[in-house]
Structure 1
Amino acid sequence: DDYAGHPTLGHNKIVPLTQSASSGFEGQLELRFNPFLYVSGGCDPYPAVDATGNLGEGLRPTGGGRSGCDDGGTAQVYVRGGQSQNRTGIMFSYYMPKVRWGKGNNEGHTHYWASVVVWLNQFGCGEDASSVSPVGVSFTTDHLVWDTAPAGKISYASSGVGVDTPTHPKMQIHDNAFSPFTGADGDKVFERTVVSWFSLPEAAKKALSDVKYEKTQVPVTDANFQAQLDAAYRESFYGGLTDQQGC
């Protein structure tokens, strides 16, 4: 791993940033569709960087999948919205200090990023978040490998604050792979703290842009975001829908 001269701290010493969504309508959508996440195996998500640009130094991929990384709390989810094929998707990306998917030295590595993209369609006009609904969800099952589920195959949760319509897709991650969460709700299924790529302090943004991980990459940087969003897109999500309902 090449940290490009940026300082590092232990993965559990990186202070998470407070919630900071994008401004305006985009930020409303980021908060409205922030997934509820259940970790069924492997590390919890942790903050990857702090406000002054210190990067998490990760963990060696030894021991159990959750050893040393099972107390991430509300951590951080790094969020960036964009378009692919003129369709809107919001990417929610999570950093884990290590990943393991089996026993042995070749069954894991230090540092891992995993992502969920919620694809949206607006059933109405104007900047009214309640008129926007998910049509499908894409999710990584390995580094740069995407799977998908239509909106009807995803369960949704309410945040309990503001409008309590269930809009948050429920997802689980086991080691390196996301999948839809189908279990019962509980205190281990919850949102992580949103930080928009565009709201990151400059030092944090530069550190994430500069770091070169050996086995993974930061999905939301300018260098990586569009290619990953395009890879996650599926035209089938929008079958039978008119373009933004004529807006």
Structure 2
Amino acid sequence: MKASPIFIATLLAVFASQTHAGAVIGHDQVASFAQPEPVTISEKAAVKFKPQLHISNGCHPYPAVNEAGDTGGGLSNTGAPSGKCKGSGLGSQVYGRSGWHGDAWAIMYAWYFPKDMASFDLGHRHDWEHAIIWIDNPDVAESRILGVSASSHSGYQKTTTIPTGSLNGTNVLLNYENTWPLDHELSFTTKGGDYQPLIMWGQLTDAARDSLSSTDFGSALMPMTDYWFSRKLDKAWPF
């Protein structure tokens, strides 16, 4: 009997849902990826322009997924805004993805936080924030930053002129903070922050990439999946 296209598509979807993902584990049980030695032009540019992240309040960034595809279950919006999420003993992480968008090279950096709380009972489980560094060309000796877009609630803070004091060499200084009663967002700062181990989208294991693409993070959105990456770049375009 010849199977219908709809039946085949359904079977494939079920198979994918059963094979893509690992387990959901504790937010502090997810081991980070080590930052690989950059080899390609795009990897070298991503390391060169990796932002510093300063945490003013709330959680510190955590790994969202491990090599096996297990994802962190996050934290409920209870207790203190930084309660149980002041840093993982298994390392931190920033995720990256890059590519041409229009006539600029876009490097997206994304951080995961187990919860997003303004104060007691305000907020939600899971948070993703991201920034896009727009440069002229990764394949030149002196690449220039053309603009920066930092996630701010459902939109972006966009600029083609980085504020004075918010650039340390080739590294933009970003701040993770909330203004009560709103949730957290990224903004420019003059305060030095930390670098997290960078793992690019193409450097992830298949299991990890599949889990990031299919896991339901509730009110938060992983911005660099195949579906969302170009859509986010469209919305973040600062020129």
Same fold (TM over 0.5): yes
| Cα deviation, residue 6, structure 1 | 3.3
Higher alpha-carbon Rg: 2
Aligned to 1:77: 94
Name the amino acid aligned to 1:136. Answer: G
Bigger relative contact order, structure 1 or 2, given CA contacts below 8 A and separation 6+? 1
Counterpart of 2:136 in 1: which secondary structure? strand
| 8 Å Cα contact 2:38/2:47 also seen in 1 | no
The 5 Å alignment of 1:84-103 reads 84-103=101-120
| 8 Å Cα contact 1:78/1:194 also seen in 2 | yes
Counterpart of 1:227 in 2: which secondary structure? helix
CA-to-aligned-CA distance 1:155-184 (integer Å, 9 cap, x gap): 222xxxxxxxx111111111411111123x
| Cα deviation, residue 217, structure 1 | 1.4
Aligned to 1:174: 177
Residues 1:152 and 2:162 aligned together = yes
Q: In the aligned structure 2, how far is the partner of 1:167 from the partner of 1:80? A: 18
Structure 1 unaligned residues grouped into runs of 5+: 158-165, 236-247
Q: In the aligned structure 1, how far is the partner of 2:77 from the partner of 2:51? A: 27
Counterpart of 1:195 in 2: which secondary structure? strand
Residues 1:25 and 2:41 aligned together = yes
| Cα deviation, residue 5, structure 1 | 5.6
Aligned to 2:231: 227
Structure 2 unaligned residues grouped into runs of 5+: 1-16, 179-183
| 8 Å Cα contact 2:175/2:186 also seen in 1 | yes
| Cα deviation, residue 21, structure 1 | 6.6
Q: Given the superposition, is the C-alpha separation of residues 56 and 33 from structure 1 closer, same or farther in structure 2, using an over 3 Å criterion?
A: same
Aligned to 1:244: none
Q: In the aligned structure 2, how far is the partner of 1:150 from the partner of 1:120? A: 10
Counterpart of 2:202 in 1: which secondary structure? helix
Q: Given the superposition, is the C-alpha separation of residues 21 and 229 from structure 1 closer, same or farther in structure 2, using an over 3 Å criterion?
A: farther
Q: Percent identity?
A: 27
CA-to-aligned-CA distance 1:220-243 (integer Å, 9 cap, x gap): 1101111111111111xxxxxxxx
| 8 Å Cα contact 1:21/1:196 also seen in 2 | no
Q: In the aligned structure 2, how far is the partner of 1:127 from the partner of 1:217? A: 31
Aligned to 2:26: 10
| 8 Å Cα contact 1:137/1:148 also seen in 2 | yes
Aligned to 1:192: 196
Equivalent of residue 150 in structure 2, options 125, 139, 145: 139
| Cα deviation, residue 85, structure 1 | 2.6
Aligned to 1:240: none
- Alignment RMSD: 2.1
Counterpart of 2:99 in 1: which secondary structure? strand
Q: In the aligned structure 2, how far is the partner of 1:180 from the partner of 1:100? A: 20
| 8 Å Cα contact 1:21/1:199 also seen in 2 | no
| Cα deviation, residue 36, structure 1 | 0.6
Name the amino acid aligned to 2:52. Answer: F
Q: Given the superposition, is the C-alpha separation of residues 79 and 5 from structure 1 closer, same or farther in structure 2, using an over 3 Å criterion?
A: closer
| Cα deviation, residue 16, structure 1 | 0.5
Counterpart of 1:98 in 2: which secondary structure? strand
| Cα deviation, residue 67, structure 1 | 0.7
Aligned to 1:217: 221
Aligned to 2:56: 40
How many residue pairs get aligned? The number is 215
Name the amino acid aligned to 2:187. Answer: S
- Following TM superposition, the consecutive aligned residue runs of length 4 or more in structure 1 with deviations greater than 4 angstroms are 2-5
